[in-house]
A and B are shown apart, each in its own frame.
Chain A
């Protein structure tokens, strides 16, 4: 191996090192550290940070999903409770309406019965009044008749007495005059 071939191998090593180590940037402390696809400490740190960030994002998404599921579950439960409560309220209202309707019907029935009773009593009262009026009229007629009978009797008696007295009086006057 001569001197020129040794120099050739030096250039080979230089070419290999530069092309493998400097895939587009500086070498030996150059600013462009991402050389030839080999990971630097910065690359590793960034990768780890990225992995942590991804894990955190995943955890956040998972937590968010869990929270969303829990929220939806609570809303669903609340909705079911509200629906059940509304159904109960509706049933109570219907029952209340039914009870009110029944009470109103009972009230009307009682009123109708009272009206019927009132009509019956009015008929009864009217009948009683009519009867009483007839009885009063009969009594008045009887009294009037009795009065007429009394008058007639008195008149007859008066006439009889007067006739008796009349026939007696002239005789008495003649007897007195003859004395």
Chain B
């Protein structure tokens, strides 16, 4: 499963995040609110987004730098 497939299959959640970002909301609050309704995001410390992102990627054998690059490329080609 690649990034495109994940985003496509979870487009509602991704669009919510993009919408909140465009409205200037806090990413920490967004993740805390998301954890209230989505069990997959519960139990994480979202006050430290970078640390959580690193630990999540490490726990899932994901190269976070590669992930950043993938997301950046995706944003460039899909978000105008």
Contacts and interface: CB of A to CB of B under 8 A. Distances in A.
A33 B1 contact: yes
A165 B19 CA distance: 204
A20 B49 contact: no
Interface residues of A, number: 31
Contacts of A111: none
Interface residues of B, number: 36
Given A9-B21, A12-B17, A26 B6 contact: no
Contacts, number: 101
Interface in B51-74: 52-53, 56-57, 60-62, 64, 66-68, 70-71
A19 B40 contact: yes
A40 interface: yes
A22 B6 CA distance: 9
A107 interface: no
Given A8-B49, A11-B49, A33-B1, A18 B27 contact: no
Contacts of A27: 1, 60-62, 67
Interface of B: 1-3, 5-7, 9-10, 13-14, 17, 21, 24, 26-28, 30-31, 40-41, 44, 49-50, 52-53, 56-57, 60-62, 64, 66-68, 70-71
